[in-house]
Amino acid sequence: MRAMSDSPAPLWRALVSTDPGRPFVTSYDDLGDRVELSRATLDNWVSKTSNMLVDGFGTQPGDRVAVALPPHWQSLAWLLSCWSVGAAVVLDGSGGVARDTEVAVADPDRLTEAQDGGAEEVVGTSLDSLGMPLKEVPAMVTDYTVEVRGHGDHFQSYPVDAGEIALEVGERTLTGAEVVAAGRARAEAWGLAEGDRLAVVVASDAPLTALGEDLSVLTAAVVSGVPLVLTPAPSAGDEERFLKRLATERVSVVYGPAPEGEATFRRVD
């Protein structure tokens, strides 16, 4: 049996306890609206979501949660929450909603598909940059940003065996230890260091596999302690302002398409 510290949740908890006030994720939407969450603030959402899963939906270790969301600060909270309660994150692999899970969470564009996917509980989230509720809530759907606020601010991660399944992507499965190992490998390959800031340039409607088929872009940030900047690629004619955004955010490493310019950052893939 591998040590529990080889699982994603304990590594996240260790990161938060080291420097809770340090930024962990800065998220831009297509309109340029910016939201920055510290480790402690994101962890508050992780704790609330974990409590909602356990107390609201009866989620237990070994359950499966379909996460049909794009890269976004809320999707990071969902991933870390699933691992905190010992549930496996299930990704469709093609951007849809994985079927026949205990819980399915989806954005408005995939909410109907989630309702038809056989999940016992369906959760919808608006992905509003400030956490506003859904404009319309279908029957038998839980509005995430309304429901989660009523749950506790603290959650003690379950002692989950790192050899248990933590991630399913299509037909592929990874244990918690394998998810962590993939993040460590990516962090080492990219040479991520304490002073770096990692920009992830990704379309606002991309599937979560844009963070790597093994989600190792997220876990690389967790194991290295490097803040993430999630931003869509610039539109035509907007390249200069985009490069200024990266400079303002003090980005030193860029994953994804970025225009050429005078900005000082290194590209990774």
If 0-12 CB within 10 Å is exposed, 13-18 middle and 19+ buried, where does residue 213 land?
Answer: middle
Buried b (16+ CB within 10 A) or exposed e, 67-96: bbbbbbbbbbbbbbbbbbbbbbbbbbeeeb
Domain ranges for the chain: 4-262
Please, are residues 85 and 49 in contact by the beta-carbon 8 Å criterion?
Answer: no
Please, are residues 61 and 220 in contact by the beta-carbon 8 Å criterion?
Answer: no
Instruction: Give the model's pLDDT for residue 263.
Output: 65
What's the Cα-to-Cα distance from 263 to each of 240, 241, 245, rounded to whole Å? 10, 11, 10
Please, are residues 2 and 163 in contact by the beta-carbon 8 Å criterion?
Answer: yes
Instruction: Give the model's pLDDT for residue 133.
Output: 93
Angle between helices 216-224 and 176-190 (to 10 degrees): 70
pTM assigned to the model = 0.96
Instruction: Give the model's pLDDT for residue 128.
Output: 87
Q: Cα separation of 18 and 39, whole Å?
A: 10
Please, are residues 154 and 47 in contact by the beta-carbon 8 Å criterion?
Answer: yes
* Among the four given CATH numbers 3.20.20.80, 3.40.50.12780, 3.40.50.300, 3.40.50.620, the one describing domain 4-262: 3.40.50.12780
Instruction: Give the model's pLDDT for residue 97.
Output: 96
Q: What is the DSSP string of the chain?
A: ---GGGSHHHHHHHHHHH-TTSEEEEEE-TT--EEEEEHHHHHHHHHHHHHIIIIIH---TT-EEEEE--SSHHHHHHHHHHHHTTPEEEE-SSSS--SS-SEEEE-GGGHHHHHTTT-SEEEE----TT-PPPSS--TTEEEHHHHGGGS-S--------TTSEEEEETTEEEEHHHHHHHHHHHHHHHT--TT--EEEE--TT--GGGG-TT-HHHHHHHHHT--EEEEPPPPTT-HHHHHHHHHHTT--EEES----SS---EEE-
* Bridging pattern class, strands 198-201 and 165-169: unpaired
Going residue by residue through the chain (269 aa), what tens digit of pLDDT does each one get?
344 568 999 999 999 999 999 999 999 999 999 999 999 999 999 999 999 999 999 999 999 999 999 999 999 999 999 999 999 999 998 889 999 999 999 999 999 999 999 999 999 999 987 778 999 999 899 999 999 999 999 999 889 899 999 999 999 999 999 999 999 999 999 999 989 999 999 999 999 999 999 999 999 999 999 999 999 999 888 999 999 999 999 999 999 998 877 667 999 98
Instruction: Give the model's pLDDT for residue 155.
Output: 96
